[in-house]
Amino acid sequence: MTFGKVPTMRQGRKNKQKSADKDVVKTEPDRKRKDDLIAFLPPLEEPGRDFISSLPTETFHEILSYLILDHDPDRGLKLEALKRRGFKDRPHAFLSLSVLSKHFRDSVESFCLHYLTQFKEICGFQPAVQLHSEHRHSTRFAATVPAKNTVALLYFQANETYLLKLGAITAVKTNGFRSLSTATFLSSEDNATFHSSDDSSLDDSIEIPGQLNSIATLHFCGLTPSASQDIFARYASSTTDDDLDEYAIGYISGRAYERNASAETDNWQDALSWMGLNENRIAALLDPQFTSTRTTLDAETWAKHIIQTCYDWLRDLDNIVTHGKKRKDESSGSVRPYSPAPSILPTPAVRPSTARASSTGGQTLPVAEVEVALPSSVPDHQIMYKGGATFRLEGIWPNEESNELEFANLYSKPPTDFHPNSPFMLYFTKQYECAYHYATLSANVTQPIPHSILQVAVPTALTSTAISIHGSDWRQLIFESRSPNPRGLISANIQHYTRASLLVGEICGRNDRWIQRHCRDAGEIEPLRLPSGKASQYAFQGNAIASRLNDTCIGKVWITDLGTHSSGLGRTRQYL
């Protein structure tokens, strides 16, 4: 998709390519349209209110209809006709000025500023502030991305037809796949957000399934043709409402019962092939540089992790393409405490919204997702890390309209290092290297799923209460937690660790199956070793301390796309 030529709204279809100056825009709408716009201007009682970001959706439609010819001229909005049909809120495309040439951007801003100045008594416009771009963080028209040029930001209720018109996807091919531009990033819970570079095209694309519950999806997840056929046949003949991923996970469980691998000396290649993974997925998992990290899970768990991560990502993508929004259900938990993290897709631009009321009045404070320099340290705070698939880590921000946090969305599935069956365990690693190393492996085995590293600064008032666990107690707790223990029984001498709100200790370097099959006693438990040494972790236990983190860590969470981690930049949400 390219935005090189931007004709005016008044141009007809035949004249679409005839503009002598591709940057020239008609900036003065007719009087009737101006009258329509006046009706939506903010009241005088709200001086200083950000005009652009506070306008009703229909008004955004009007401004864009004045200035930009939509991809389909026949779809130009006619507000009055839509109102007569009871049409209220169907967002049109919102184009960030950062995609446009400077001449065109200046023309759009000139129109907006001219109109606002002309009616400043009505809208409470303050030219001295609004004329400076640094004071326009929350405006959709002024959204920019540090270190990234010419990025288009389109907010709309997406549907397949519209995405096809944009060139973001192709029609489904005969093999069941369609192409998705790798310069396109789909995100946001409530809207489809596209970030498309100037040179984005389907020549630089990935293949994704045309339908979610299809054989193509099983191929995408990394299963062989024969395994995919077997799984899909069972799914198609079933009378239950189970999704396709549940059949794939069940297939792996059944095959793993016959062949699995847990120790370094086991035949991982044979086990993974028997479970139905294709050669590309197997080769990525068996990369020698990740041996120590790989053996923290057995072959069965890795296979399930690959399938589930790919399927969940496709499910979110399918909901965006089909409905213009992601699913609202709970985030999928990670399989390890320092769980899944390179992103092939651009970093999101500023995404404005509103949040809680300000302390000085009843007005809401605007919130924006911005890219900032990552802090190496924060006074009176301990920085912790977690690697993972980006769509899962972003569950830390459950509400697109605020920067409120929900750490419970990052709980790990039991059993974990420090508890056999608690579903309320929240793990972070102390070492960036640990999160990066594991995240890189997870990203490699689930390509092209974007991965990231989450960084959080936790007040020392919380971390100072941590109980350290080490030595024989550490080994015993892990041995009892990761051995078959459905009732969750822990020896009396170490039970106090399971009641602590915060534990700190090393990360176990062995997987559950190895402990159950090869470990004769707790003395054989060994910590995970990284090139720089042993890896350690914080374990927050229970909803109470997770709630405290929600309250005390607002504005202290950053997510860094793995592919750009060396830039030293991360995404966060800020009140403006």
Mean pLDDT by 10 residues, the chain (576 residues): 28 34 34 39 43 48 42 37 42 36 49 50 41 31 30 36 71 85 49 39 73 94 97 91 93 96 96 98 96 95 98 87 54 34 28 42 63 93 97 91 90 94 95 94 95 97 96 96 83 95 97 92 92 92 96 96 87 81
Predicted confidence at residue 26, as pLDDT, reads: 34
The span from the CA of 500 to the CA of 502, in Å, is 5
Predicted confidence at residue 367, as pLDDT, reads: 72
Give the residue among 509, 511, 331 at the shortest CA–CA distance from 405.
331
- Give Cα separations from 479 to 265, 333, 337, 387 (angstroms): 21, 22, 16, 25
Q: What is the DSSP letter of 271?
A: H
Predicted confidence at residue 118, as pLDDT, reads: 54
In whole angstroms, how large is the CA radius of gyration of the chain? 26
Question: Which run of H or of E encompasses 181?
Answer: strand 177-181
Cβ atoms of residues 353 and 368 within 8 Å: yes
Query: Is the CA virtual torsion 40, 28, 129, 6 positive or negative?
Result: positive
| Three-state DSSP state, 389 | strand
Cβ atoms of residues 373 and 74 within 8 Å: no
The span from the CA of 487 to the CA of 480, in Å, is 11
Structure tokens at 98: 């950062």
Predicted confidence at residue 427, as pLDDT, reads: 98
The span from the CA of 56 to the CA of 108, in Å, is 18
- Give Cα separations from 45 to 56, 198, 362, 363, 364 (angstroms): 17, 41, 13, 12, 15
Which amino acid, residue 494?
I
Determine if the peptide bond prior to 415 is cis (ω within 30°). Answer: yes
Q: Which residues, in sequence order, are CB contacts of 275 under 8 Å at separation 6+? A: 227, 251, 252, 255, 256, 259, 299, 300, 303
pTM of this prediction? 0.67
The span from the CA of 12 to the CA of 181, in Å, is 29
Predicted confidence at residue 134, as pLDDT, reads: 35
Query: 382 has which bridge partners?
Result: 458
Here the contacts of 240-243 (C-beta below 8 Å, separation 24 or greater) are: 243/213, 243/311
Predicted confidence at residue 326, as pLDDT, reads: 55
Structure tokens at 396: 């830390």
